[in-house]
Structure 1
Amino acid sequence: MTDTLQTPGGELTGADAADIGAAWIADLAAALRSGSRSELAGLFHGEATWRDFMAFTWDFSHAIGRDGVVERLLELSEAVDARGFGVNGQQPPAVADGGIRVFFDFLTKDRIDRGYVHLVREPAGFVASVLQTQAEALQDHPAKVGDLRREGKVYGIVPGRTRWSGDRRREASFSDGDPAVLVLGAGHNGLTMAALLGALDVPTLVIDREARVGDTWRKRYAALALHSTVHGDHLPYLPFPPTWTAHTPKDKFADWLESYATLMDLNVWTGTEFLNGHYDDDTQRWTIRVRRADGTIRELRPRHFFVAGGLFAAPKIPEVKGLDTYTGLAVHSDAFQGGGEWEGRKALVVGAGVSGHEIAHDLYEHGTDVTLLQRSATYVLSYEAYHKLWNALFTEHADLPPEFADQIAYALPNTRSDDVNRKLVEIGAEHDRDLLDRLRARGFKLDWGPEGTGILGAHMSGKDSYHINIGAAELVADGKVHLKQGVEVTEIRDGRTVVFSDGSRMPDVDLIVFATGYHQFWGHIKPALGAAAAKIDKAYGRAADNEYANTWRRSAQPGLWFGTGFIRMARFYGKFSALLIKAIEAGIEPVDPDRPDAGNR
C-alpha cells in the first residue's frame, strides 16, 4: 500500500520516488556494464535478497545476502547480456511499505524481462533490500495478444473458405497431428497452462476424466467456496467482471472454468481417461494412451506431458472394523453434498481441517446434532486475519494490478518467506487470541503449520490440517458443535454405534463424513508412467535448492512437467512454464539440457 516516507528532509513525494528509483536503476545498469563489484555492492543492503524467475537462467533461483546477490548478478548478467534497463512505463516508482517500490524493464539474450526492487534508506542513500526479476516474453516469439491477436475473419475472396466453428472442431480433435503439449487435468492449473501456451502458438490439448470442465468442483460439498477473494483469483487474460461475488461459490467457479475453456478457445477432451505413458529418450517424445468418452483408445505423441491434476487424487478413508455393517450413511467429504436432509439427526465428522470444519458448520446450520472428531492438531486462523495479513496486495482498493502484485508476492526466496510467515502467524494468533483461547478451553488442539509457517507451509507440505474460520470455530468454541479430540474411529458396532480408540462410544450415529483428505496425486499417477517416473522423487514441496521440486520448472525427467497449487500460484508460475516450453519448441532451448542435440524438433 502506498504511503509516505519520513526522511530528515521531510516526507518523500511521488516525484522524489520517481527520481530516486530512476537513479538506482541507472546505477544498476552502469555497475553491470562495468562489472564493478564495489559499485554493485553499494546498491544493496547487507541482508538483501534476489529471486529470479527465468530472466537470467531457464530456471528459478535466488541469492541471499549482499555478497551472494552481487556475485550472482555479475556472473549471470554477463552470460545473458543483461541490458536496456529502464523504469517500467506502466507502474511508476512509488513510496510504499516504508521504502520506495520500483518496477523496471530490461532484456536478457532472447527474453523481455521485468524487475522489482524495494529500496530502503541508509545514511548514504537508498539501497535495495529486495530484488526480483522475471521473464515476461520471448523477443522473437511474442504472445498473440493485443495488436498481435488473431484476426478471426479474413476479408476478401478466399477459395474453399472454412468457418470458425468447423476450424475449432478440427483443431480440438487433433485428427491430423499430435499436440506439442498434453495437459492432464482441466482444473485451474491445466486451463491456465493451456491458455498461456495457446497465446504462444503451442498446440496444446487438455484431457480430463470428468464429463464437464469444472466437475471436480461441482461434485464437492455444497457449502464450499473459495477462501481467497476475487481480487487474487483471476485467470490469465480473462479477469472476473466487476459484478462478480467477492468470494466464489464452488458451483460458480466450476461454471467459470467451463466458460473460460470455451471463451479462450482451449482444446479440451472431457470424459477422457489417462491410461499410461512411455517416454522415448531417443526421439524425446511421449507415447500416451487415453480412453475417450466413447470408449475408443487414442494414442498421442506429444513432446511435453504436463501433469496439472492438483495436489490430491483419490479420497482417503481410514480402515474401520465393521464399517461394512454400518446402517447409516458413511461417505468421504468428496462425495458429501450438504446438510439439508439431516435435520434432527446425529452426525460425526471425522477430520478437523478445512473440509471437516465447513461440513460440520453446514450440518449444524441444518439442525443436525453434529460432533467434530479432531484426531491431531489444526492451525486455525480467522478469515479477517487471513486477508489482512496474507492478501493485502489483493483487495478492492489495492493500487497494483494482479500481475504487478504477483511480482511482489513472490519476491522473497522461500526461506525468507518462511520467516515472514512465522511472524504473520504470531500476529494472526494475537489477532485471534480470544477465539483460540476458547477453543483450547474446549480441548481443541492447535497447531501452527510446519515449523510455525501456517497455511502456506502446510499447503507446501501437502497437508490440509488448517482452517480459515468463517463461523465453524465459534460453533466448536461455544459447544454447539461437539468436539471429540485425540482419538480414532476403530470400529462400528450394532449397526450405528461408533467405537473410538480410547474405548468410548457414540451410539445412534446416522451419518459419518470422513473429511480425512486425499492421496497425493503424483503417487496415484506414477505407476502408469513406468521408467519415465523413476527420476521424480516428489512433485511440489521443496527441492534441495529451496525452490519447488519438479514443479512449474523442468523436472528431473525431460518432457515431464508438473503444475499445481492455488489459483494465484498457477497464474504466476504458469507463465514461466509456458515460456520455457515455447523456447524449447522454437529451438531456443533443448528439451534436455544434458543432451542438447538429441530428439527431433
Structure 2
Amino acid sequence: MTSEDLHAISADWLKSLENASSTGDVKSFVSHFLSDGWFRDLLCFSWDFRTLSGSEKICGFLSEMVDGRSRLEYSGLCDFKLDDHTANAPSPFKLPGSQGIEGVQGAFTFSITNPAALGRAFFRLTQDNDGNWKALTLFTNMQDLVGYEESSTDRHGLYEGRQITWEEEIEAKFRAIEADPTVLIVGGGQAGLTCAARLGRLGIRALVIEKNTRVGDSWRQRYPNLTMHTPAYQSSMLYNPYPTNFPKYIPKGKIANFLDSYAVNQELCIWLSSIVASTPVYDSSSARWTVGVQRGDRKVILNPKHLVLATGYGQPRIPTWNGMHDFRGALYHSDFHTDAEQFRGERVVVVGACNAGGDICQDFIAHGAAEVTIVQRSATCVVSSSAAEETNYKLPFSDNNPIEELDFRNNSLPLSFLLQLKKSGGTQHVKMFDKELHEGLRKAGFNLTWESSPGSGEVGLEGFIYSRFASGTMLDIGCGKLIIEGKVKVKQGQDISHLDKDGITFKDGSKLSADVIVLATGNEPIMKGTRALLGDKITEQLPPEVWGLDSEGELNQTYRPSGHQGLWFAIGPFETSRFFSKHLGLQILARELGIA
C-alpha cells in the first residue's frame, strides 16, 4: 500500500471512531474493534491501567457508570487528529507469530473532557471477514493534564534583572522540598531518580532517600564484569540520553557514574546515607505519612503525602542447607561477588544458571580459576544478546527519533496479547537465531525452556520478564560459549543434600568438590522487603505481589494504585521507569488537584 492508502484507511476509521466517542455511543465505539480485539487504557477512562480483550469486555468497561454517565460519555474523548509527523505516522505492520497478522498501524492525539487532559493513542487495524478495517488493538494513553503540562524546558537561563544566582535558586528549592516534601521516594537507583526527575517537571516536590553514600552505588557495588544486557538506547535515562561515545552495552561503572551526574543535572534533592528508621504510619484524616528517616547520625521526621518505594530487587535469597557452616572455603551470594582474582587457580562452583550465574562464571574463567562448574537446578530460558537485539530491541525506525516514540509504540501492545503472539510462533522465531547455541548447550547437558511455568506455553524472554521479573533467564553474552567449549562444566543439581568441608553433596550421592561456592540463587520477592519496611498492618491491605501480571495482563501495583492510599511502587528496568514514571506523576498530580 502507498502512504496515501495507509493515511486514507487510518483517517476513515478514525473519523468514524471519533463520531462514536463524541456521541457517547458505546455500541458504535466497540464496533470499531474486531470481535476478539484488544483495548489497553492508561488513565484516560479510569485512574488505573486496564486491558480488555474481546467486544463484550470492552463494551462492559466503557458502559460502566460514572456520575450517571457511561465511562465513554463521561470521559468525552474528542478532537481526534491523526499523527502524520512522527515516527508513529500510519505505516504497515506484521506481527510475529504463526498467524502472520498484518495491517495498518499509527497514532493519533485527542482531548479528554473529564478530567481536562490531553491524550495520545496507537492503533493497529486489520480487515475482518467482510473486508472492513477494524482495530486489532487500540491503546489510549493520558499525556498531560490541561493547565499542568509537563515542563519541557529548563527555567534557568540569562540572569538579566534577576536577584539570585542559579546556585541560590537550587538551594532555596531544596530547602522547600526538605521542609515539606509532597513525595518521599525510598531508593535512589534508576527508578527512583527517574521518578524524581519526572515529578520535578510536573511541579511536584520530591525528596529521594538513598541508603548508600553515593548515587550509583547500587550499580557500582555489584560484580566487576557486570554490563548492561540491553543496548544503550533501550536503557537510556529520561530527559538525558547517554553520550554518543558510550559503548552499546554499558559497563556498570559507567552506569553508576552516569547516575551520579544525572542526579546533579536533573537537580534532584537526595539525602544520601539515609534509611527509613521506623515503620511509616499513615493518617487517613490528614492524608499524610509520618516517616522517621535516619540521615547519617540524626533522625528526621517527614510527613509526605505520598510514599514511593523504588527499592529495586528484593534482598538476596540464600538457601539453607545442612553443613553450610562446615564448608571451609569461600561461600557467598552472587550479590556480594567482588573479586574473582583472589580465587585464581581454585575450584569454583556457581549454584544458579541464570544471568548472574552466567556472568560470574565468565568472571572466574577470565581470572584463571582452575575449574568452574555451574549447578543448574531448573531449566533456563536462554536468548543470546544478538538474538534479543535483532528480535526485541531492534529499532523500528531511525535512531534519530526520540526514545519516547519507541516507548509509546512498545507499550501500545497489550502484554497478554504479546504473550499470545509469543506462544503462537513468536518464540519459535526468536529461537531460530540461536539454533546453534541451543544445540551446543543441550549437548553440554544444559537444560532449556521457554515456558515460565510448566504447560503455560512458550512465552519466551518477555514472559519470564513480566511474570517472574526475569528470574529463570540468561541473556547470554558469552557464558553459553564457555559451556559449549567445556570451560564451564554443567552439573544438574535440583536436589542438593548438604554441604561439608570439601563441597556439595547431592541427594543422588554425587559430589562436587570446591574451594569457592557462589550462590547465584536470585532475590526474595519484593513484598517480603515491603513487609519488613511497612509492617503487617499495611502490607496485608496490598495485593500479594509487586510485578507479575494481574488477571487483565497489567503489572501488579507497579506505577499504579497499590491498594493503600498514598503508597506507590516504582520498579523495573530502565524502559519501564522511563515510560511509566509519567503515569505515576499524573496520578499523584491528579490527587493533589483533587480530581482523581
- Same-fold call, TM cutoff 0.5: yes
TM-score by length of 2: 0.90
In the alignment, which of 377, 380, 387 is matched to residue 378 of structure 1?
A: 380
Alignment of 1:476-515 (within 5 A): 476-493=483-500, 495-507=501-513, 509-515=514-520
Deviations 1:153-186 (A, max 9, x none): 5532x5xx44322332343355862200000111
Asked if the contact 1:392–1:398 (Cα under 8 Å) also holds between the matched residues in 2, the reply is no
Task: Indicate how the Cα distance of structure 1 residues 228 and 176 shifts in structure 2: closer, same or farther if over 3 A, else same.
Answer: closer
Q: Find the residue that maps to 2:108 and give its secondary structure.
A: strand
* Whole-angstrom distance in 2 between the partners of 1:490 and 1:170: 60
Q: Which residue of 2 aligns with 1:202?
A: 204
Deviation, structure 1 residue 305: 0.1
> Is 1:90 the equivalent of 2:85?
yes
Q: Which residue of 1 aligns with 2:98?
A: none
Alignment of 1:270-309 (within 5 A): 270-275=272-277, 276-293=279-296, 295-309=297-311
Deviation, structure 1 residue 455: 2.5
> Is 1:528 the equivalent of 2:533?
yes
CA RMSD of aligned residues (A): 2.3
Q: Find the residue that maps to 1:236 and give its secondary structure.
A: coil
Deviations 1:412-440 (A, max 9, x none): 33321221232322223333233223322
In the alignment, which of 557, 561, 579 is matched to residue 550 of structure 1?
A: 557
* Whole-angstrom distance in 1 between the partners of 2:408 and 2:59: 21
Q: Which residue of 2 aligns with 1:598?
A: none
Asked if the contact 2:23–2:73 (Cα under 8 Å) also holds between the matched residues in 1, the reply is no
> Is 1:22 the equivalent of 2:2?
no
Q: Which residue of 1 aligns with 2:145?
A: 138
Give aligned pairs, total: 568
Deviation, structure 1 residue 486: 2.3
Q: Which residue of 1 aligns with 2:33?
A: 44
Q: Find the residue that maps to 2:222 and give its secondary structure.
A: coil
Deviations 1:459-492 (A, max 9, x none): 3324521101122112212322111112454444
Structure 1: which amino acid aligns with 2:52? Answer: A
Structure 2: which amino acid aligns with 1:323? Answer: M
Q: Which residue of 2 aligns with 1:127?
A: 134
Asked if the contact 1:356–1:372 (Cα under 8 Å) also holds between the matched residues in 2, the reply is yes
* Whole-angstrom distance in 2 between the partners of 1:119 and 1:544: 25
Asked if the contact 1:321–1:491 (Cα under 8 Å) also holds between the matched residues in 2, the reply is yes
Alignment of 1:398-409 (within 5 A): 401-409=402-410
Task: Indicate how the Cα distance of structure 1 residues 21 and 321 shifts in structure 2: closer, same or farther if over 3 A, else same.
Answer: same
Q: Find the residue that maps to 1:201 and give its secondary structure.
A: coil
* Whole-angstrom distance in 2 between the partners of 1:380 and 1:336: 22
Deviations 1:385-442 (A, max 9, x none): 22222223468x4585322222221223332122123232222333323322332233
Structure 2: which amino acid aligns with 1:19? Answer: A
Q: Find the residue that maps to 2:253 and give its secondary structure.
A: helix
* Whole-angstrom distance in 2 between the partners of 1:555 and 1:398: 35
Asked if the contact 2:178–2:207 (Cα under 8 Å) also holds between the matched residues in 1, the reply is no
> Is 1:453 the equivalent of 2:456?
no
Task: Indicate how the Cα distance of structure 1 residues 63 and 497 shifts in structure 2: closer, same or farther if over 3 A, else same.
Answer: closer
Percent of matched pairs sharing the same residue: 30
Q: Which residue of 2 aligns with 1:599?
A: none
Asked if the contact 2:186–2:311 (Cα under 8 Å) also holds between the matched residues in 1, the reply is yes
Deviation, structure 1 residue 152: 4.7
In the alignment, which of 517, 521, 529 is matched to residue 516 of structure 1?
A: 521
Deviation, structure 1 residue 544: 3.9
> Is 1:113 the equivalent of 2:125?
no
Deviation, structure 1 residue 498: 3.3
Alignment of 1:248-267 (within 5 A): 248-267=250-269
Alignment of 1:147-546 (within 5 A): 149-152=154-157, 154-156=159-161, 161-174=163-176, 177-275=179-277, 276-293=279-296, 295-310=297-312, 312-368=313-369, 369-393=371-395, 397=398, 401-422=402-423, 423-448=425-450, 449-450=452-453, 451=456, 452-459=458-465, 460-462=467-469, 464-493=471-500, 495-507=501-513, 509-530=514-535, 531-536=537-542, 537-546=544-553
> Is 1:53 the equivalent of 2:56?
no
Deviations 1:498-540 (A, max 9, x none): 3333322233x22211111111233123233232222013222
Q: Which residue of 2 aligns with 1:76?
A: 71
Q: Find the residue that maps to 1:519 and give its secondary structure.
A: coil
Q: Which stretches in structure 1 are left out of the alignment for 5+ residues?
A: 1-11, 590-601
Deviations 1:307-349 (A, max 9, x none): 0111x23212222333334332222111112433333221111
Task: Indicate how the Cα distance of structure 1 residues 57 and 90 shifts in structure 2: closer, same or farther if over 3 A, else same.
Answer: farther
